[in-house]
Structure 1
Amino acid sequence: MAQAKKQLFEIDLQTNAEFFKALAHPARLAILEYLAETKTCITNDFADELPLSRTTVNQHLLELKNAKLVNSHSEGVKTFYCLNMDKIQEFKALLDGFMSKISDPENCRKQIK
């Protein structure tokens, strides 16, 4: 039922909500920061960098992959993870646009008067 109610909103708001949901956990933000800092594709070394179990880290990686913010590819038994810079730039543009809509100082002044 909740799924149907999402359809009542503009596609832009639905898209923004999906991106925000993917970033709605500090572990996911830490993973993205770690990938950005390493500036390369890395293997399952996240569990060594985060105070979480390997299983939990993999669940967070899956959420980031589903949002297409992270890409992965396998070589033998290793899986490599990389930032999807195209999707990150798309998200940045969406976020900038959304924040511009809600951050007009006139909005606040109109409400106070």
Structure 2
Amino acid sequence: MAKYSEELDEVLVALADPTRRQVVVRLGRGPAGVSELAGTFPMTMPSFMKHVRTLESSGLIRTAKTGRVRTCTLNRERLALLDDWLAEQRDIWENRTDRLERIVATTKEQS
């Protein structure tokens, strides 16, 4: 668990907000300009930019400015960190439930 600590915390904090999750979902379909992304949310551009900066500082997205257009791109490698952690947790809990199932089966057989 320690191997994930700080990086995973940053990703989870970034994904804790529904606006940021929607941005990640949208960027899963491909890169988009900040103005395009912001247009789907009922907030000012400065407020939306706070979300963009949070996603960028967590490493979930990358931004690049060409002229006056800032384009956001999803960093799928950073999502893989979350996927790896979830897979590890899934394995832990599956092993625990398998063990519990064996205990219950053994108890039933002994009754």
TM-score interval, smaller chain: 0.7 to 0.9
Distance 2:17 2:99 in 1: 30
Structure of larger gyration radius? 2
Q: Which residue of 2 aligns with 1:36?
A: 28
Query: CA 1:55–1:93 in structure 2 vs 1: closer, same or farther (change >3 Å)?
Result: same
The runs of 5 or more residues in structure 2 that have no matched partner are 104-111
- Do the aligned residues in 2 keep the contact of 1:68 with 1:84 (CA within 8 Å)? yes
SS at match of 2:26: helix
Letter in 2 for 1:79: R
If the length of structure 1 is used for normalisation, what is the TM-score?
0.72
Q: Secondary structure at the match of 2:46?
A: helix
Kindly indicate whether residue 58 of structure 2 is the aligned counterpart of residue 67 of structure 1: yes
CA distance in 2, matches of 1:53, 1:77: 18
How many residues are matched? 100
RMSD between superposed Cα atoms in Å? 2.4
Q: Which has the higher contact order (CA 8 A, sep 6+)?
A: 2
Q: Which amino acid aligns with 2:5?
A: L
In 2, the alpha carbon distance for the partners of 1:23 and 1:108 equals 33
In percent, how many aligned pairs have the same letter?
A: 16
Tell me the secondary structure at the aligned position of residue 39 of structure 2: helix
Q: Which runs of 5+ in 1 are unaligned?
A: 1-8
Inter-CA distance 10–107: structure 2 relative to 1 (3 Å threshold): farther
- Of 12, 18, 23 in structure 2, the residue corresponding to residue 20 of structure 1 is 12
TM (norm. structure 2) is: 0.73
